[in-house]
Structure 1
Amino acid sequence: MQAIRRRAVIAAGVVAALSIGVAGCAKSDRDSGTEVKSTGGTFIFAGAGDPKNFDPIFNDDGESFRPIRQLYDTLVTHKPGTADLTGGLAESWENDPTGKVWTFKLRQGVKFHDGTALDATAVCANFDRWYNMKGEAAQSQMIYYTDIFGGFAGSPDALYDNCKASDAATAVLTLKKYKGAFPGAFALTAFSIASPAALKQYDADTVTQNGDSFAYSSFANEHPTGTGAFTFGGWNKATGEITLNRNPDYWGDKAKVDKMIIKVIKDENTRKQELRAGTVQAIDFPAPADRKALASEGYKVLDRPAFNILYLGINQKNNPKLKDLRVRQAIAYALNRAQLVQTKGPGGSAVADEFLPNTVLGYATDVQKYAYDVAKAKQLLADAGATGLTLNFYYPTEVSRPYMPNPQEIFTVLANDLQAAGIKVNGVPRPWNGGFKDDVQQFGKQDLHILGWTGDYNDPGNFVGTFFGRGKVEFGDQAMTEMFDAIGKADATVDQSAKKAAFEQVNRDLATKWLPAVPIWHAPPAVVTTKNVAGLVPSPLTAEQFNTVSLTK
């Protein structure tokens, strides 16, 4: 791990102190200074859903980020198997005492896949690009940018000020105010650094809206160009195969396999069948019932620590009854979450009482808990004049997520609980990309939905701030200014003990005063491989890098 300079005590020790790791994970060869030689072969990973595209800034889901992480690098990254920060494209970084000015010392000799050089000017071009997005590009799925940087050029909430190259190896980023998300947010896959030449050549910022979805550029779909351990070999949408080729000029540990294929197999049983047939070497998010069976058959079941949350989102916009706190509390009391964990949760799952894991700063042990109580739910509905309430419940199909291995089954259990309390449920299944995410996060068509989150870095703002730090279509809660202000103030608190106390109070108030959603569970997701796969290091962030993988005979 490269040295990290910390002249100011601003957000510096949180990640290290509260890191989530996998015990005994292998030391990076980059740290030892040795070069890994290719062992050859093709590693085939079964993806659970289609990626949206391969332009990092326009994505926010794991199926898109899996290939993106292999193609690009970020300025800051995580040590394999942990949430600890280490150098990525930046060998080191430091912040000034205000936390507003960040200086990155870049690695020398790094090349983009098109042969152009990574330097400070290229880094700043990426930050400038994100900040200056306009029109349909800015309106598309740039969730990470707006969550972290507040807004685009001209927005009063914009956090970004400027980025300057003081020399070829030094990029200096200036923000308008301190934000607790940094430095962890610099490791977000959405903020991967792309080749400015390729962005320009392939019209990366050309985005058009078609009905309820967006169409992206040839850069995003055909010519993604980063600095990663793999280069792009094509996306065959007919077969669902994404081909990644070993980058022989990679600056870090070179991939051990010649090629990686991500094969999209949307049906869970089919993924399992292909693993057993040997046509794929790895699958993600096995069903809870399959984990023991696969392990007993000799497959490697690699658990990741639970660093996630599944929640039932409540959209207050479409049905005025949902604006009544008593109705939202009734929904919480109606859910038998303990039984859901026992019957549908992966091994080691636990009922969630708040919206972040208990290892994250600001977790409050004394939040109000909503035990399963059908009678209380019915009484609250009656008190609110909401007897006979009918709600449209959206859930995704053709996908498994780390926090949601089988959305159909989870929906069925929760819908039955709600109906037992007197709430009529209209189930609305929608495909993950090009359907569910657009309907829920862009257009807010739902009353209820199930969704979740795997943490990107160890900070409370990455959980509750991402969900509830501002008005979002997903929850229809634009009027909850007290909640937005409280989260904003907590996130802007420099002193770590004061920040801890502020977020603890936020979590108490989320459970009692605001309740924009109901936390369901924390679930440890797994990845399963065939016996001949070696070197795969599971990440608590589900952010695996596959350059470490080799195939044995």
Structure 2
Amino acid sequence: MRIFKSRAAGAIVTALAVALIATGCSSERDKEGDSGGAKDTFVFGGPGDPGSLDPALASDGETFRVTRQAFEALLKHEPGGSELAPALAEKWSGNDAGTVWTFNLRKDVTFHDGEKFNAAAVCANYDYWFNWTGTYQSSAVSYYWQTVMGGFAKNEDPETPKANYKSCTAKDDSTAVIEVNEPSANLPGGFSLQALAIHSPKALKEYAKQDATAKGDAITYPKYSQVAGTVAGTGPYKVSEWNKGNKEVSLERFDDYWGTKAKIKNLVFRTIDTEDGRRQALQAGDIDGYDLVAPADVKTLESDGFQVPTRDVFNIFYVGMSQEKNAALKKPEVRQAIAHAIDRENLVKTQLPEGGVAATQFMPDTVAGYSDKVKTYPFDTAKAKSLLKGADESALKVEFCYPTEVTRPYMPAPQDMFELMKADLEKAGITVTPKPMKWAPDYLDATEAGGCELHMLGWTGDFNDGYNFIGTWFAEYDKQWGFKDKGVFDAMKAASIETDPAKRTELYKTANETIMAYLPGVPISSSPPAIAFADDVNPPKVSPLTQENFAETSFK
């Protein structure tokens, strides 16, 4: 999963966040329940704001961290792991061709607005997404739908991918059948995505009354997705408030939940956009946990009695290049020069926690399909200069976008990492113009639309299949990269439609080798992100996919 304001604005927001923490801006932290004064509110500090209360409109981890507590998809992942498990579907199966998927659904499931869950509700959701029009067809808005299911009933842009979704049929109340036109390596994993979580049909009717709009790269999301009250899922929590002034989203336990009820009544996600701010808030007792612990803080927190589990590596950090935005990037020698100019080992050593590794391709070595035979581009400033001179681009100038007010599992300190890479590029003779941008929605929208010549982004896997990494970017033309290379696309197509897992893994290796020979961008590193909890918390199982279920959380 991924996501795309000025430094001065960031400083103001940071100052406000610290001031709010110091003055105890949220009284919810101190609420008491009915059990002898036991705490009934768990406050978690996140590094960035969510972009939407509707996960179908999102592609970022901070949105999904919140919505995952309120919305459920047909499938999910086992707690603490990456294997698919039942969610709203108790059982599922695919035909031999990989084009027909049958889901045996749970009974007696209720949406937050009182509507009943059934197969008709499943189909209402898939058909609603398939029939999106206008700005909803922008890849910045419907990113995951397009990644998994292709385009729409009527594509309005010739660059929108061909629709792969065919139909959804409610065979009976408890059986939904989803058909696609061609087999895809994104299935069945895609059925576990938050972006394809199931909403109440009653809520969908309200959603349909509002439109997303766009002006240039800027997206205005529909009001229902920005204010609590309309969205309705089936999860153990329901959204009760989004206080944007205090940078908080509040959820309350859904007592009619079909499964094990949440152990804590209230759940609050508070944005604290600096590592120091989150650590200090935990140490002061203002929050009960936070994500993306700075590597230097792990031992300090542990020695103070806090719990700091580390997730397994399941992400990739990269520098993307937009060939449509800067024509010089169309030259292979220029892309190779940029790759040779960046000192990945130094970045890993100075910026990542123990266990971080330099990357050679666009997936971590923990994913099947990783190849030991890819072309590599070791750090070599002299070679970078030579390549630029040979391409008649020795005076190369690039605009380099980077995000502010956020940290990510693969990118614990964005500005520090940017400054290191900027210095590396400038040593090779490349003139870099920095372009800091607010993470959500500015950076995400601009990057998705190919609005940055160079940018830094990453990806934490959504499910355990190589296509979820390399297929995410390189299956077809993508505005983020702005290139069209038949060799890359053909390699990805072959892997996508292969239904034999062993053969598909070998095709992923071939695809990785093809991609790194073409070099659309520079894979930089993979990192094991840490998460912290207070000593009085029984934390949820930590997930390599960062898919923690906070309904598992309780106070000791």
TM-score (norm 2): 0.90
User: What is the match of residue 340 of structure 1?
Assistant: 347
Q: How far has the Cα of 1:56 moved from its partner? A: 1.3
1:58 aligns with 2:62: no
User: What is the match of residue 450 of structure 1?
Assistant: 456
Contact 2:149–2:164, Cα closer than 8 Å, also in 1: yes
| Equivalent residue runs for 1:355-504 within 5 Å | 355-442=362-449, 444-477=450-483, 479-504=484-509
Q: Distance in 2 between matches of 1:237 and 1:341?
A: 34
Alignment partner of 2:520 out of 516, 539, 544? 516
1:263 aligns with 2:270: yes
- Shift in CA distance, 74/433, structure 1 to aligned 2, threshold 3 Å: same
Q: Distance in 1 between matches of 2:38 and 2:233?
A: 23
Contact 1:39–1:257, Cα closer than 8 Å, also in 2: no
SS at match of 2:376: coil
User: What is the match of residue 506 of structure 1?
Assistant: 511
The amino acid of 2:470's aligned partner reads V
Q: How far has the Cα of 1:40 moved from its partner? A: 5.6
1:297 aligns with 2:296: no
Q: Distance in 2 between matches of 1:407 and 1:344?
A: 10
User: What is the match of residue 244 of structure 1?
Assistant: 251
User: What is the match of residue 525 of structure 1?
Assistant: 529
Instruction: Map Cα deviations across residues 165-197 of structure 1 (whole Å, 9 max, x no partner).
Output: 110000011111111111111101111000010
The amino acid of 2:282's aligned partner reads L
Contact 2:319–2:522, Cα closer than 8 Å, also in 1: yes
Q: Distance in 2 between matches of 1:291 and 1:535?
A: 17
The amino acid of 2:474's aligned partner reads F
Alignment partner of 1:278 out of 273, 285, 293? 285
Q: Distance in 2 between matches of 1:361 and 1:491?
A: 14
- Shift in CA distance, 119/154, structure 1 to aligned 2, threshold 3 Å: same
SS at match of 1:190: helix
- Shift in CA distance, 205/166, structure 1 to aligned 2, threshold 3 Å: farther
Q: Distance in 1 between matches of 2:217 and 2:391?
A: 34
Q: Distance in 1 between matches of 2:490 and 2:133?
A: 27
Contact 2:533–2:539, Cα closer than 8 Å, also in 1: no
Contact 1:203–1:217, Cα closer than 8 Å, also in 2: no
Q: How far has the Cα of 1:495 moved from its partner? A: 2.2
The amino acid of 1:542's aligned partner reads T
Q: Distance in 1 between matches of 2:454 and 2:215?
A: 25
| Equivalent residue runs for 1:68-467 within 5 Å | 68-139=67-138, 140-155=140-155, 157-203=162-208, 206-221=211-226, 222=228, 223-442=230-449, 444-467=450-473
Instruction: Map Cα deviations across residues 178-218 of structure 1 (whole Å, 9 max, x no partner).
Output: 11111111101111000010121354652222553222334
SS at match of 2:225: helix
Q: Distance in 1 between matches of 2:110 and 2:209?
A: 19
- Shift in CA distance, 204/541, structure 1 to aligned 2, threshold 3 Å: farther
Contact 1:71–1:229, Cα closer than 8 Å, also in 2: yes
Q: Distance in 2 between matches of 1:204 and 1:533?
A: 42
SS at match of 1:463: helix
- Shift in CA distance, 274/288, structure 1 to aligned 2, threshold 3 Å: same
Contact 2:70–2:236, Cα closer than 8 Å, also in 1: yes
Q: How far has the Cα of 1:150 moved from its partner? A: 1.2
The amino acid of 1:134's aligned partner reads T
The amino acid of 1:451's aligned partner reads L
SS at match of 1:200: helix
- Shift in CA distance, 314/424, structure 1 to aligned 2, threshold 3 Å: same
The amino acid of 1:100's aligned partner reads T
Q: Distance in 1 between matches of 2:460 and 2:149?
A: 20
Q: Distance in 1 between matches of 2:38 and 2:363?
A: 40
SS at match of 1:70: coil
The amino acid of 2:137's aligned partner reads A
Q: Which moved more, 1:208-217 or 1:182-191?
A: 208-217
User: What is the match of residue 29 of structure 2?
Assistant: none
Q: Distance in 1 between matches of 2:290 and 2:39?
A: 20
Unpaired runs of at least 5, structure 2? 1-36, 156-160
| Count of residue pairs brought into register by the alignment | 512
SS at match of 1:301: coil
Instruction: Map Cα deviations across residues 87-109 of structure 1 (whole Å, 9 max, x no partner).
Output: 00000011112111111000010
Q: How far has the Cα of 1:48 moved from its partner? A: 1.0
The amino acid of 1:143's aligned partner reads Y
SS at match of 2:308: strand
Q: Distance in 1 between matches of 2:383 and 2:62?
A: 40
- Shift in CA distance, 344/440, structure 1 to aligned 2, threshold 3 Å: same
The amino acid of 1:506's aligned partner reads A
Q: Distance in 2 between matches of 1:184 and 1:405?
A: 27
RMSD: 1.5
User: What is the match of residue 27 of structure 1?
Assistant: none
User: What is the match of residue 44 of structure 2?
Assistant: 45
Contact 2:210–2:223, Cα closer than 8 Å, also in 1: no
Q: Which moved more, 1:138-147 or 1:329-338?
A: 138-147
1:544 aligns with 2:548: yes
The amino acid of 2:475's aligned partner reads G
Q: How far has the Cα of 1:66 moved from its partner? A: 0.8
User: What is the match of residue 21 of structure 1?
Assistant: none
Q: How far has the Cα of 1:73 moved from its partner? A: 0.5
Q: Distance in 2 between matches of 1:527 and 1:429?
A: 26
Q: Distance in 1 between matches of 2:137 and 2:325?
A: 25
Q: Distance in 2 between matches of 1:540 and 1:116?
A: 33
Q: Distance in 2 between matches of 1:487 and 1:232?
A: 39
- Shift in CA distance, 204/291, structure 1 to aligned 2, threshold 3 Å: farther
Instruction: Map Cα deviations across residues 212-256 of structure 1 (whole Å, 9 max, x no partner).
Output: 322233432222200000011110111111110011111112100
Contact 2:291–2:530, Cα closer than 8 Å, also in 1: yes
The amino acid of 2:108's aligned partner reads G
Instruction: Map Cα deviations across residues 514-552 of structure 1 (whole Å, 9 max, x no partner).
Output: 100111001001111110110321100001110000012
